[in-house]
A and B are shown apart, each in its own frame.
Chain A
Amino acid sequence: MSSSSSRSAATRAGDQAWTKMSKMNAELFNLTYGAMVMQLIRDYEDVQDVNQQLETMGYSIGQKLVDEFLAKSGVGNCANFREVAETLAKVGFKMFLGVVVEVTAWNAEGTAFSLQVYDNPLADFVELPPQYSGLVYSNILCGVIRGALEMIKYQVECRFVKDGLKGDEVNEIRVELRQMVDESFGEEYNEGA
């Protein structure tokens, strides 16, 4: 019962955050991302390297984006990973991309879930040619999620398990919690010791 009411609260928070954001045309966003992916494809020979580079770029975005999220979303602390997932899907995606994302397929331990992205604003005009079937076109999203969650102490792994560009009816990103980042001191101090 409580979980369903918190879900709708997250949706409301997402809608409110979205209203406050400055907006721009989604197609220019879409085409800009396409131009960048094309550039990476020209620069790297292997599509796996392109996937990796997209993830890295996303990670760097996520680390900064989380600041804006915390400043503007009005969302408080999340008590557990489930709340993190709901907030990520209902507030985070909504606030920045204007789309609603569903959280599904929790594992028994509550450490892994799937995000179902029905409307992917990165891929509207995209058709993957056969020679790029290994390309995870929207992999930047995985990086963003990893970067953002790491900043709030959740170290996760993300990957696309379903991709609308490869014929799946929905985009699905699997998010798995690896470990909590140690709160007492940062990794850079660990390495020095």
Chain B
Amino acid sequence: MTESKRNAGSGGGGIRMLNILDRPLATKGRGGGGSEVSLSAFSFLFSEMVQYYQNRVLSIADLERKLEEAGYGVGHRVLELLAFREKQYRREIKLIGVLQFVSSTVWKALFNKVADSLERSTENEDEYMIHEREPITNVFVSAPADISQLNCAAYIAGIISGVLNGASYPAGVTAHHVAIGDGQREKTVFLIKFRQDVLRREAALSG
């Protein structure tokens, strides 16, 4: 399998440089199997990334913003990848459709599970929330007391934002800790706040 992947598209033996577009893309992850690495490897890497940013910012808000920025580019790529694989290039034109795409398809592709829940804010109609009990960015994180409000899932918030913006549903996404009581670990809520014109468009489309 490895051999065929490396050789695919090289054509004549003389061509050594393999263009990325010649390589098959969709084979991986097909049928839900997908290739995997250990969660530890990811956590070590992510930890280095957080530390790197931490040395370059003055506040937790800045650190979270940096993580969101890093995730944003990943979100664009994830959308492109999934548009190829899962959606046969079909575009989502309903707000609720795109949210479900994020909380189920994207979640399943990235985290191998669907999000714990997707809710609409009762106070603001432009706000939606995705609940996740244990985002993979937080599995091995225990923030020291002085930065306890830091939520490393800001990286995932950035990914969501990247996906939504790429899908023409621009929205700001932030990650928040929410206590669930009983001494259990706090869960994370991703607050998605759509831009006003998204809601206007949605109203015009359905009206």
Contacts and interface: CB of A to CB of B under 8 A. Distances in A.
B35 A98 contact: yes
Contact of A97 (B16, B38, B155): B38
Given A25-B34, A32-B46, A65 B40 contact: yes
Say which size band chain A's interface belongs to.
35 or more
A61 B73 contact: no
Interface in A67-115: 68, 95-98
A39 to B, nearest CB: 6
B38 A31 contact: no
B48 A57 contact: yes
Contacts of A125: 20, 77
B23 to A, nearest CB: 9
A167 B45 contact: no
B6 A21 contact: no
B75 to A, nearest CB: 9
A167 B18 contact: yes
Contacts of B87: none
Interface in A112-133: 118-119, 121, 124-127
B83 to A, nearest CB: 14
Contacts of B20: 125-127
A118 B6 contact: yes
B125 to A, nearest CB: 31
B141 interface: no
B189 to A, nearest CB: 20
A65 B3 CA distance: 29
A145 to B, nearest CB: 13
B36 A25 contact: yes
B147 interface: no
Given A25-B36, A25-B109, A169-B6, A61 B136 contact: no
Contacts of B2: 118-119
Given A39-B70, A125-B20, A167-B18, A32 B35 contact: no
Contact of A121 (B37, B44, B70, B111): B37
Contacts of A57: 48, 52
B77 A36 contact: no
B45 A32 contact: yes
Contacts of B29: 25, 27
Contacts of A25: 29, 34, 36, 109-112
Contacts of A127: 19-20
A155 B155 CA distance: 35
Interface string A28-65: 11011111101110010000000000000100110011
B45 A29 contact: yes
Contacts of B16: 167-169
A96 B37 contact: yes
Interface of A: 18, 21-29, 31-36, 38-40, 43, 57, 60-61, 64-65, 68, 95-98, 118-119, 121, 124-127, 140, 164, 167-170
Closest 7 CB pairs of A and B: A127-B20, A22-B39, A23-B36, A21-B38, A26-B35, A167-B17, A96-B41
